[in-house]
Structure formats: C-alpha cells, structure tokens
Amino acid sequence: MTGPASYPVTVLRMFLVSLLAIVTSVYYPLMVVGNFDSRISLVLMFASLLINGWDLIANYQIYRTEKGEIGTLSREMGIGSKRRWLAVDILAVIPYELLGLHAFILLRILKLLRLSQYQKIWRHRDLRRNDTLYIVFFLFWMTLAAHWLACGWILLEPPRTDIDGATLYIEALYWTIQTLTTVGFGDYTAETRGQMIYSMVVMMFGVGIYGWLIGNVASILSKRDSVEQFYHDNMERLKTIVSNRGLPPELQKRIREYYDYIYSRSYSGSDEQALLATLPASLKHDVQVSLKQEVIRMIPALTESPENLIKDIATELETEIFIPNDTIFEEGEEGDKMYFLLSGELEVIRQKDGKIATLKPGDFFGEMALFEQTQRNATIKSVSYSETYSLDKYAFNSVLLKYPGVAAIIEQKAKERKSSTNQ
Ligand code: CMP
C-alpha cells in the first residue's frame, strides 16, 4: 500500500469530488423532472466510477493508517464515524445504471456530505477568512436548496404543454425564491393539493432559514472587528467611571488619548493577552516568541543575540505604551526594570542639567540603576506616543549571567552614558 498522498494531490481529489458532487446534485434532480440525456448520464457514471472510486480508496487508506490521531486529516474527516462515511463513499461509486437500478442514482447526491465536510475543514484551516467562507458556503447551499425545491415544484405541476422546459424551470425557481424569501407575490400560486402542502413546507423552511441567517450575519458583523469592539468597550467603561466617580478632565483626556492611539494602530494588545491566558504554558511561550521575535531583532543590543536569548526573554518582555508627556520614571526612584524603545521618542532629563539626551527606537534605557543597584540617575519622559518592552530586574540579571555578549553591550553603553552625564 502506498503512503498518504501529498497535499496537492489530496486537494485535487477533494476538488474533483466536490465538483462531481455539485454537478450530479444539480443534474440528477433535473433529470428526474425533465428529459433524460443518456450521454450526460453515461459521462457522469464513468466520472463517478473514477473520481469517487479514487476517493473511496484514498479515504479508506486514511482511516486505516491514521488511527484517529488528534489534529490529523483523518480526525477532521470524521474518524469517529468512519463506517458511516465509507458507506457514503461506497453508495456514490456504485454504477447503478449498469445494474439497471436507475432510480438509485440519486444516492450519489449523498456525496455532497463530503463536500460539506471539506467546507468545514477549509473554514477550520483558514481562520482568517472563516466568517466570509461561512457566508459564501451558506449562499451555495441556499442556491442548491432552491434548485431542488424548484425541481420538486415542477414535479407537482399538472402537465403543461404551453411552455418549454427552460421556462418551466425558471418559473419554478421564481416561485421557490419568492416563497423562500417570504415575499410571495402571489403570481404563481399552488393549484393542486400537493402543491399547497409543498408550499406550506417550503414557507416554513424559508422562515426558519431567514431567521437563522439574520441571527448569524448579525453575530458575524458584531464580532468582525475585535479592535473596534475593544475600543468601544473601553470607551463605555470610561464613560461609566467618569459619571459615577468623576475622574478629573485631564486624566479622562489621557485615557481617551491612549485608547485613540491603540485604535489607530489597530493594536489589540488585550486580545493577545486574553488569548494567551487560555493557552497552556508551552504553547503560550511559542506564541510569544513568534509575536515578539521580529521586534526583538530590531533592537541593536539584541540583534546579534542567539535564538535562545529570544526564546528566553520573549515571555519576560512586557509591552508598555506611553502617551505624550507621560513620565516613565523619575530621577531618584528605585529602579526595578529596564526598557527597550520600539517606537516613538523619549527625553532623558536631569534636575541639574535639564534635557541631556533623546532616545530613539532601538535604544534602551533604565539599565544603569539595575547595573549599579542605585537610583535612577535621570527622568525619562515620553515626547510622542511610545511603545516599549520592559524587562524586570530578575529577568535582566539572568540575561546578563547567561549571555555575556549582550551584557557587555549594555554595560559598555551604561559606562558611556555615566561618563557623559558626569562631565
Ligand atoms: P537609569 O539610571 O536606570 O535611569 C535613567 C536612565 O537614563 C539611565 O538608566 C539611562 O538608561 C538613561 N541615561 C542616563 N544618562 C544618559 C545619557 N547621557 N544618554 C542617554 N541616556 C542616558
């Protein structure tokens, strides 16, 4: 037996199976209510034998070889109920025409179940487009359902000689869409008892689908932009606090500016934190490494750092954002962490000398108090919106011990700064 097929081959197989399932599910109901074209039927029979046969063998292999390992294709393809799925595959491959069982060809339509499964896998694997795919697939199923219902309507129509087949179908589809969307202009109405019963069922189906669709679209739209949601939620909270507790206008302004900045950057720090909180430690660590490593590499002091350093400090680095005029810390305070500036501009100010330096993205600061275990020798103020990564003193000390190269760069800088400050 051959091993599992490569990814492009699997995708090709799924595509062909889906295409055939769609063609048969459109053509066979038409065939039941209209004319039977023996050539098309023959082509579809051979296509089913080939494509569905290939699919049956491939699925059988998947179920046999991958005994439901978590996260594998077989699990997504329903390993738990493999007998049911294989039954669907077998029913779709049988050449009913050759056996004289023409009515049974409709069983091939069951293969659509595989298509719905592939759609689920697709949505599962393409999380970014999940909602869009959800709506596209829904429209697809609605169109197919409308087609089947139209065929059903034709079946119930008393024999008509006044119009051709195509017009008959369009009329039936027109009736179906009207009834499904609950518009019902009334220009095509049920005449026979069968049609009346059928109309009632379709109307109920239509109302159900309509309600379900509106509910789903509303929920998709409401969660579409989590950053915007985050912003509005925080603004609401701010409004409540302001009216209940009366925050000073200056403080209100700063909070508002902070959220405006976050919103303008489409920065959803809170989402990241909320997601990370749900993950087990090992996964959390890997996600943080992946999110932060690009930024860590932008900091010259850490550019040459080995992969391991990045892995070690990714979880330790905390994002801190400052708005214009914020004081990050004051001269004379105890130092408990150092910072790496990612964006924005900061001023280094000493009581004695005034502004002594400007810090730009990639610079670090707050290292001197940690090195020398003294107080901060200057005040750091944010000139613009600034984003930093902070590293607490314990993590800082362990980095110095483990990575002498990085320690040397930071120490060298601290010395230069000290001598320039003392001049
Ligand atoms: P620390 O003493 O912990 O807190 C103040 C920080 O300002 C200090 O660490 C340095 O990181 C930074 N700093 C001090 N002097 C200078 C300088 N001359 N140029 C740039 N940064 C400085």
Reading across the β-sheet that carries 379-382, which strands appear in turn? 327-329, 379-382, 346-350, 354-359
Which SS3 state, helix, strand or coil, does residue 49 take?
Answer: helix
Q: Which residues line ligand 1 (CB under 6 A)?
A: 335, 348, 356-357, 365-369, 376-378, 380, 417, 420-421
Point out the ligand 1 atom lying closest to the alpha carbon of residue 370: 3
Which one of 368, 372, 375 would you pick to mutate in the ligand 1 pocket, going by the greatest count of ligand atoms within 8 A of its CB? 368
pLDDT, residue 271, reads 64
Say what percent of the chain tops pLDDT 70: 91
Nearest protein CA to atom 16 of ligand 1, as residue: 417
pLDDT, residue 214, reads 86
Nearest protein CA to atom 20 of ligand 1, as residue: 357
pLDDT, residue 70, reads 46
Could you tell me the distance, in angstroms and rounded to a whole number, from the CA of residue 385 to the centre of ligand 1? 19
Predicted confidence (pLDDT) per residue in 165-177, tens digit: 889 999 999 999 9
Could you tell me the distance, in angstroms and rounded to a whole number, from the CA of residue 245 to the centre of ligand 1? 38
Give the pair of three-digit tokens for residue 11.
């995708």
Q: Buried b / exposed e across 263-298, counting CB within 10 Å, b at 16+?
A: beeebbeeeeeeeeeeeeeeeebebbbeebeebbee
CB within 8 A of 269, min separation 6: which ones? 262, 319, 321
Residue among 392, 378, 395 nearest 333 (CA): 378
Could you tell me the distance, in angstroms and rounded to a whole number, from the CA of residue 413 to the centre of ligand 1? 9
pLDDT at 268 over 60: no
Could you tell me the distance, in angstroms and rounded to a whole number, from the CA of residue 198 to the centre of ligand 1? 81
Q: Output 398 or 76, whichever has higher pLDDT.
A: 398
pLDDT, residue 218, reads 83
pLDDT, residue 217, reads 82
Angle at 282 between CA 278 and CA 284, to 5 degrees: 40
Which one of 299, 417, 423 would you pick to mutate in the ligand 1 pocket, going by the greatest count of ligand atoms within 8 A of its CB? 417
Give the pair of three-digit tokens for residue 241.
């606090």
Could you tell me the distance, in angstroms and rounded to a whole number, from the CA of residue 417 to the centre of ligand 1? 6
Could you tell me the distance, in angstroms and rounded to a whole number, from the CA of residue 351 to the centre of ligand 1? 13
Angle at 142 between CA 137 and CA 146, to 5 degrees: 150
pLDDT, residue 74, reads 59
pLDDT, residue 253, reads 85
pLDDT at 406 over 70: yes
pLDDT, residue 1, reads 40
CB within 8 A of 17, min separation 6: which ones? 51, 52, 55, 111, 114, 115, 118
DSSP labels, 186-215: SSS---SHHHHHHHHHHHHHHHHHHHHHHH
The continuous run of DSSP H or E covering 178 comes out as helix 165-180
Point out the ligand 1 atom lying closest to the alpha carbon of residue 421: 18
d(CA 87, CA 224): 39
Which one of 348, 360, 370 would you pick to mutate in the ligand 1 pocket, going by the greatest count of ligand atoms within 8 A of its CB? 348
With beta carbons less than 8 A apart as the criterion, state whether 282 and 314 touch: no
Nearest protein CA to atom 9 of ligand 1, as residue: 366
pLDDT, residue 2, reads 46
d(CA 276, CA 94): 50
Nearest protein CA to atom 8 of ligand 1, as residue: 366
The owner of tokens 């320039």 is: 420
Could you tell me the distance, in angstroms and rounded to a whole number, from the CA of residue 295 to the centre of ligand 1? 22
With beta carbons less than 8 A apart as the criterion, state whether 356 and 421 touch: yes
d(CA 1, CA 106): 32
- Strands (E) in 208-336, as ranges, are 318-322, 327-329
Could you tell me the distance, in angstroms and rounded to a whole number, from the CA of residue 262 to the centre of ligand 1? 27
Would you tell me how many other CB atoms lie within 10 Å of the CB of residue 26? Answer: 16
pLDDT at 382 over 50: yes
Could you tell me the distance, in angstroms and rounded to a whole number, from the CA of residue 356 to the centre of ligand 1? 9
Reading across the β-sheet that carries 386-392, which strands appear in turn? 318-322, 386-392, 337-343, 364-365
Predicted confidence (pLDDT) per residue in 137-162, tens digit: 999 999 999 999 999 999 998 888 88
d(CA 267, CA 233): 15
* Per-residue pLDDT band at 229 (split at 50, 70, 90): confident
pLDDT at 327 over 90: yes
